[in-house]
């Protein structure tokens, strides 16, 4: 932007949400166990949300519900094609958003700066969006993002949900995983720093239910703790798993059971060796570190800066993607490269693919869909993004998501 | 922009219009038959608009009326020289505006970034603005844009118009075509995706009335459907016609009678061959596709991204214009090159001409003029743009619109 | 910015002022005779302005008055160092501001983009700001801008002024000329397109009063009319005069007695030949035209785009200044080069000097000062700018306004 | 900014604060003796501030208090990671902010434009933040900024403070110095232009109290006056001292006892020679002047543009830092290079270190902390910045603040 202009109203809005943010600081990865916080604050039962649409019938109703139930996200332009760009009234109160919000904005702006060479003289009418990822067939190159602690972080805990019963973390995860399953793709169950192993196992029950078609992530804990959780993930039948090593910012303030840490090549290699399913390292932002993952034998990486939420000043994930793809492919490796951070619609998906990603993870839009409409909401959102992806492929003349030419992206003369 | 800053009020405004937009999605080309929707929702007669100026006497009154009658466009700075730039409160609710509005904004910003070498030491006092296009003499290098489905898309259906009777699509088209005729230039009647052939024929009656001095466009339907409509257009006496092949985004969701599709060179050639009047391909955004149109034998192209409304991320049409002009002229072709998307005033017209266009199409300003004042409104708007064009030509030292030097555009040192 | 973001409130504000602007169009140089309009609309006497400060004692009070008396300028940040940048609520309603306001904004932004190499290790304590211009000694390199038709254009006509009597054009001009005189520099009396020779002569009475220390400008009329007015200017004792040839935009709509036109080299040479005092051509924006002025024998030029008000898209005057200075000096000419358009404070003055101007003209700040406080107000504003200039010279290590090194301007590494 | 957009509300806000600013002008370094102004305007005792939190327990409460007690600073995003960027409602009313506020904004934007190469594949878990400066051991590379005249400039004079007694300048300084001491680092007592020697000595009592662990600055007065104050500073036991030579803007308006002036190499050398403790020249913005300080024998410099407050147009201090570091180190000098202007959080600190600074000074955040919570508030703010610094070091893979690699900063491909 050079510049982001904040007006007075927004500042007012922010001050309302500032209480939550005050205790969060820069490395705002929550350490509260997510099960506990799902309980209502008092024993008077769940709080009813005014204006809630029961059994939402379209995406607009789903997202209206999300807007109602969340305290800390304004769900900007909820029915539009996704104007959630960090410039709305979210500010510092957005859960887990680190630093000066610049990183989050960078991620979205990087997409806004890329344009397509619009193409209309060809015969691509019905593009193919199917692909295979670690042996799993997907209807489209879109997975949910790795999102957890939602009821707590979004202020939805203890409130009545779209289905007339209390919103809980389990219900949120179920929406994500089942909705992705129904859309023919994959959703993630997440590990929270403060979650004891029991909570994590509870979280994995939904992964188990959709055996082979649901995923799980693990925090960058001590090696021993990671191994214990890998066992659980494998038992739940996930086809692959990820560790978000970009959660390591709290390393210097590690507490027993809540330790996160960066992982050097040696430790990554131990994890690869221990696991019986493919291991994906999430949170890679430089070519050098991508090559270290190749060296460690990782099955894949997710180019991601944690949605711009762990460090105040990171370049846009999309901007570093091409350099990482080039470095990995030049090294002769065919390691899977996924992308995450800033994807808002189907057009964005095609951009990431044109820059070399094989598939993308999308967080905030699905998070809202699950909070506002559960599995049905998540499925509707997947369908919308699929329609956008197909329409964009037609106007870019792209026939297959597995072969997206780099030159569909416009280059200034 | 680098960045667009949206403030809270605008977001509020947007949410009001979100209902319409919700169903529109990315490829927002409407499929509703435009005749049907012109009827009032109930049988209580047309809705009266408060503050309407009857028989408007100047452009300001015309545009005040437009502002009143439209639900989905704020007609920003209606009396000024056209600050409609996609950064106002229009947002996603603007009819047919795809994606993240970035493309629409790009189009306008591209004009704002170009500046003239102001020139005062010369003797150009009364510049010539006349030219000939496909054998038709024009008073100025400005045509209306191809705009249709207006009463529906702009929320004007069933309302009382400037003349005291109900606003209808026919009335809108009449305003466009007659106003352009009276100004000594050409207006377009438009084809809507959902329009059956009967509706289209009804639309062409006005073209027939101004035989030889009115134009019509056809959607990129199946070849057979296109041929049927070419017959109709020729019967109406249009001197040339256009197909907006950039409407193809919905190709994968084609329904019987509502099919649109991209057109490869073979199909374009069939159309050229079938038609007895010149065929102009509208929606060309790359040099490669322009050359394919040359190869197919098209009489002309319109460099256009459909006003930035069909794809979320296209570069500014103005930015791709010079490359297209160079490619076509370097190939030895003298195919007519028209320009569309983002023109707001007479200064913009001169910029497009300096970059190689032979004439421009202007949509939104005339659309408002016809909704707010019919043929008289459209004529006033043409006169205003003509005055601006002449004044700008004097201060740029340009004597003739047929010979606009490229070097009137300022280049940074 | 690339982009300027306008919020809803501003658009609301603009709509209020839109009536005036509606009739102005692009080439907004007023043609109404400025004497006539100074009379109150009815015979009920001057309108009292609420909140007016009688006999203002400081600049803040002067500018508060200006804010009160003007209908069409918000006098943004009146007490601050001049944030009048075209991004406030002025919009199209600003009198005589052409096109899309981009040119006006460009002028101010060009200054904002230049920075000084701050310098503190030296011994410049009391810099010299005196210079000589066409034989006239000036206390500082700052003249007023050429501003006229003020009571009409600014909406001040028929209102009570700072001194308890009605505001008139004569009173405005007197404030400008006398205030500049008292500050040891020069102010301009202006010619309006619609002013008959009698009005112009009336305007020159104040120039006569400050014989030898007051200036006058002439519109680019027919040669015969210009000669007639040169006679008048010389009779009034002005040490030099200017013609603002950038007013030629209305050339194609010339009316008897209200003709303006561009001037080719031949005509400029005739004027040089006819005049007995130095002739300065105002409104030069390219090196080519500057060299044509050298060729015509002009004594000086003013690099100016008429404050960005006559053409919708001109580059910043400051941005073209260095190229013009280089071309003129490389040609061996020592023609005087003045600068105008966008200067807001003493720091801006030093920037223009560092880029090669010998002195600057400043419009809007003095215009407000005269409307709000007459000669005393104008003098206070000159003193403020002088203080700013001196302070900036100290921190840039510049000892003399006649020798301002180019390298005080910061260059990015 | 390309662009900074100011909306109407902000302008309204600004006008409220304009009275103070009106008299300040460009070189807004206050000349009022700061002791005198600490007294309440009338004899009715201190004014109670509504909504004040007594004995604040966390940073949010401290900063809420600061917001309450200050008239001229909105303390934007007080609980967040520091969005004080000059684009809020501060405007010209911010005490001592010169010119067009562009310099202040530049400083903050320069930090926002730099991004880190996020790094997660390594084993840095507990980075070291300790260092030694002129023989003093510091817990972190962060000192307070040199801030004085606070109760007057911030509008806090005569108001009840966080501890239930009247806010005074002495209380403010005590908070700064003691808070820094408790955090294991150093705070500054400041010299005001209008402060007589007695006031300055009074100010130094707090430096004396924390002997060897508190600092003092001197204005660039006459050499004789400087020597007198150096004696006082040395007697108070400060380990080193600074002169802010960038305060010289008022040189041309020097009054007896209130003279400030630039200092050439000869005068700097005299000061070096006179002082028995290390002398740091504050306000260096070019490589040339940094080398002059080396030549003069200065022990250190502070790269600083006085927070962007003394000159309207300076480049960002951060942008000139690398060139200065290179020039000094290439000359073979190991002169200490400190940095000041625009640092808002721990991430910013790491950026300045990556660009070659050895430690940074931070003004506004500590100023608010002391006004709102005294020594406890200042200590909390230091702890927060330390946590941010450590977290950022982990995610950048930096083990020690004394060895920060330049390549942790992201470079666009």
What's D180-201 look like in SS3? HHHCCCCCEECCCCCCCHHHHH
Chain A residue nearest residue B252, CA to CA: A126
- The answer, for D286 touching chain C at a CB cutoff of 8 Å, is yes
Q: Which residue has the higher pLDDT, A335 or A148?
A: A335
DSSP C346-387: HHHHHHHHHTT-SEEEE-HHHHHHHHHHHHHHHHHHHHHHHH
Asked if D344 lies within 8 A of A1 by C-beta distance, the reply is no
The string of pLDDT tens digits covering residues D179-193 is 999 999 999 999 999
What does the DSSP assignment read for A115-179?
Answer: -B----SS---S-B--EEETTEEESSSEEE----SHHHHTT-TTBB-TTSSB--HHHHHHHHHHH
Q: Quick one: pLDDT at residue C226? A: 98
- Determine the straight-line distance between the first and last CA of chain A, rounded to whole angstroms: 21
Characterize B307-337 residue by residue with b for buried, 16 or more Cβ atoms within 10 angstroms of its Cβ, and e for exposed: bbbbbbbbbbbbbbbbbbbebbeeeebebbb
Nearest CA in chain A to D83: A100
- D311 CA: distance to closest CA in chain A (Å): 21
Q: Do D100 and C344 touch (CB under 8 A)?
A: yes
Task: Tell me, yes or no, if D2 comes closer than 8 A to chain B by beta carbon.
Answer: yes
* Interchain contact D363–C (C-beta under 8 A): no
- The alpha carbon of residue D364 is apart from the nearest alpha carbon of chain B, in Å, by 26
- C11 and B88 within 8 Å at the Cβ level: the answer is yes
CA atoms of B199 and D374, how far apart (whole Å): 77
User: Pick from D396, D378, D375, D409: which is nearest to D118 by CA?
Assistant: D396
List CB contacts (< 8 A) between B10 and chain C: 7-8
Q: Indicate left, alpha or beta for A192 from its phi (over 0: left) and psi (-120 to 50: alpha).
A: beta
Dihedral of alpha carbons B267, B273, B277, B280, sign? positive
Half-sphere exposure of C293 (CA within 13 A, CB side): 36
> What's the rounded Cα separation, in Å, for the pair A302 and A317?
10
Q: What is the mean pLDDT of residues A275-304?
A: 98
Name which of B82, B109, B122 is nearest C262 (Cβ-Cβ).
B122
d(CA D357, CA D359): 6
Contact call for residues A243 and A219 (beta carbons, < 8 A): yes
Residue tagged 């820069």 (tokens): A26
What single string gives the DSSP state of each residue in C93-119? GSTT--TTSHHHHHHHHHHHH--B---
Q: Which of C250, C281, C285 sits opposite B118 (nearest CB)?
A: C285
Tell me which residue of A285, A293, A349, A355 sits closest to A316, measured CA to CA.
Answer: A285
Residues of chain D under the 70 pLDDT cut: 1-44, 77-83, 88-100
CB atoms within 10 A of CB D46: 16
Look at D251 and C394 and tell me if their CB atoms are within 8 Å: yes
Nearest CA in chain C to A1: C1
- Which residue is it, tokens 């967080």? A363
pLDDT tens profile A150-197 = 887 888 888 888 888 899 999 999 999 999 999 999 999 999 999 999
pLDDT at residue A50, as a whole number? 77
**A120 — contact with chain C (CB < 8 Å)?**
no
Q: At what angle do helices A265-274 and A287-296 cross, to 10 degrees?
A: 40
Distance CA B144, CA B142 (A): 7
Show Cβ contacts of residue D43 under 8 Å, excluding neighbours closer than 6 positions: none
Query: Between vectors from CA D285 to CA D279 and to CA D291, what angle results, nearest 5°?
Result: 60
Question: Contacts from C337-340 at CB under 8 Å and sequence distance 24+?
Answer: C337/C290, C337/C300, C337/C301, C337/C303, C338/C143, C338/C280, C338/C300, C338/C301, C338/C302, C338/C303, C339/C302, C339/C303, C339/C304, C340/C145, C340/C146, C340/C282, C340/C302, C340/C303, C340/C304, C340/C307
Q: Which of A379, A370, A304, A305 is nearest to A337 (CA)?
A: A304
Give residue B333's region: left, alpha or beta (phi > 0; psi -120 to 50). beta
Task: Please give the domain boundaries of chain A with CATH numbers for all domains.
Answer: 3-109 (no CATH), 131-408 (3.20.20.70)
Predicted structure pTM score: 0.90
* ipTM reported for the complex, 2 dp: 0.88
CA-nearest of D153, D146, D198 to D30 is: D153
Sheet strands (E) in B102-240: 131-133, 136-138, 142-144, 188-189, 215-218
Q: Which residue of C has its CA nearest to D282?
A: C120
3-class state of residue B242 by DSSP: strand
Neighbours of B264 (CB within 10 A): 16
Interior/surface letters D283-296, b for 16+ CB within 10 angstroms, e for the rest:
bbbbbebbbbbbeb
d(CA A94, nearest CA chain C) in Å: 24
Residue B47, phi then psi, degrees to nearest 5: -80, 135
A11 pLDDT exceeds 60?
Answer: no
Residue A234, judged by CB atoms within 10 A of its CB (0-12, 13-18, 19+), counts as middle
Tell me, yes or no, if A110 comes closer than 8 A to chain D by beta carbon: no
- Predicted confidence at residue D14, as pLDDT, reads 31
Sites in chain C below the pLDDT cut of 50: 1-42, 78-82
Place of tokens 């910013």: D348
Which CA distances in Å does C114 have to C107, C318, C354, D8, D314? 12, 10, 11, 26, 8
Judged by CB atoms closer than 8 Å, whether chains meet at D394 and A248 is answered as yes
Helix C317-330 to helix C102-113 angle, to the nearest 10 degrees?
70
Rounded CA-CA distance A56/A176 in Å is 16
Q: Which positions of chain B have pLDDT values less than 70?
A: 1-44, 77-83, 88-100
B351 touches chain C (CB under 8 A): yes
Q: Are C18 and B60 a contacting pair at CB < 8 A?
A: yes
Q: CB of C58 within 8 A of CB of C376?
A: no
- C5 CB neighbours in chain A (<8 A) are 5
Residues of C in contact with B116 (CB under 8 A): 311, 313-314
A205: left (phi over 0), alpha (psi -120 to 50) or beta: alpha
Chain B CB contacts of A121 under 8 Å are 245, 262-265, 268, 281, 284, 289, 292-293
Of A2, A3, A7, the CB nearest to C7: A7
Give chains near A: 3+ CB pairs under 8 A.
B, C, D
Q: What is the percent of chain A where pLDDT is above 70?
A: 85
Beta partners for C248?
none
Are B249 and A391 in contact (CB < 8 Å)? yes
Distance CA D408, CA C9 (A): 43
C246 interaction partners in chain B (CB closer than 8 Å): 118, 120, 395
Optimal mutation site among D64, D66, D80, interface A, most CBs of chain A within 10 A: D80
CA distance C293 to C281: 7
- Decide if D261 contacts C394 (C-beta within 8 A): no
Q: How many helices (H) and strands (E) does chain B have?
A: 13, 10
Give the containing element (helix H, strand E) for C241.
strand C241-244
D297 CB contacts (<8 Å, ≥6 apart)? D268, D269, D272, D273
Determine whether the interchain pair C27/B391 forms a contact, defined as Cβ–Cβ distance below 8 Å: yes
What are the phi and psi torsion angles at A290 (to 5°)?
Answer: -65, -40
Phi, psi of B246 (to 5 degrees): -75, 0
Phi, psi of D132, deg, nearest 5: -120, 135
pLDDT of res. C1:
31
Residues whose CB falls within 8 Å of the CB of residue A341, separated by 6 or more in sequence, listed in order: A107, A303, A304, A305, A306, A307, A308, A316, A317, A318
First to last CA, chain B: 22
User: Which residues lie below 8 Å from residue A351, measured CB to CB, with a gap of 6+?
Assistant: A111, A114, A116, A318, A409, B313
The alpha carbon of B150 is separated from its chain's Cα centroid by a whole number of angstroms, namely 12
Chain D neighbours among B 5-64 (CB < 8 Å)?
5, 7
């Amino acid at each position: 932007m050079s510049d982001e202009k904040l007006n007075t109203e927004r500042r007012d809005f922010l001050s309302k949400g500032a209480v939550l943010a005050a205790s969060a600081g820069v490395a705002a990865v929550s350490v509260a166990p997510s099960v506990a916080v799902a309980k209502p604050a008092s024993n008077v039962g769940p709080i009813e949300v005014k204006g809630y649409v029961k059994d939402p019938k379209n995406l607009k109703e789903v997202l209206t519900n999300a807007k109602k139930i969340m305290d800390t996200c304004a769900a900007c332009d909820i029915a539009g094609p996704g104007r959630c760009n960090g410039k709305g009234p979210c500010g510092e109160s957005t859960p887990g958003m680190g630093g000066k919000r610049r990183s989050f904005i960078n991620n979205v702006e990087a997409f806004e700066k890329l344009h397509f060479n619009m193409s209309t003289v060809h015969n691509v009418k019905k593009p193919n969006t199917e692909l295979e990822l670690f042996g799993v067939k997907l209807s489209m190159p879109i997975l949910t993002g790795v999102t957890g602690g939602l009821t707590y972080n979004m202020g939805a805990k203890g409130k009545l949900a779209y289905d007339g019963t209390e919103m809980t973390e389990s219900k949120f995860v179920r929406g994500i995983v089942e909705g992705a399953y129904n859309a023919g793709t994959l959703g993630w169950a997440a590990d929270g720093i403060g979650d004891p192993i029991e909570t994590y196992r509870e979280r994995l029950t939904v992964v188990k239910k959709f055996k082979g078609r649901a995923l799980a992530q693990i925090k960058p804990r001590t090696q021993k703790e990671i191994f214990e959780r890998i066992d659980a993930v494998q038992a739940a039948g996930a086809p692959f798993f990820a560790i978000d090593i970009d959660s390591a910012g709290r390393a210097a303030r590690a507490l027993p059971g809540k330790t996160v840490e960066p992982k050097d090549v040696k430790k990554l290699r131990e994890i690869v060796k221990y696991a019986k399913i493919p291991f994906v390292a999430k949170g890679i932002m430089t070519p050098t570190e991508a090559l270290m993952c190749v060296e460690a034998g990782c099955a894949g990486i997710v180019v991601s800066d944690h949605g711009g939420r762990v460090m105040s000043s990171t370049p846009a994930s999309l901007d570093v993607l091409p350099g990482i793809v080039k470095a990995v492919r030049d090294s002769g490796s065919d390691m899977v490269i996924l992308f995450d951070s800033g994807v808002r619609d189907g057009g964005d998906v095609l951009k990431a693919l044109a820059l070399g990603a094989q598939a993308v993870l999308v967080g905030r839009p699905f998070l809202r869909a699950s909070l506002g409409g559960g599995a049905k909401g998540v499925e509707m959102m997947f369908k919308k993004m699929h329609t956008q992806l197909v329409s964009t492929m037609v106007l870019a003349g792209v026939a297959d998501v597995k072969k997206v030419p780099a030159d569909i992206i416009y280059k200034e003369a």
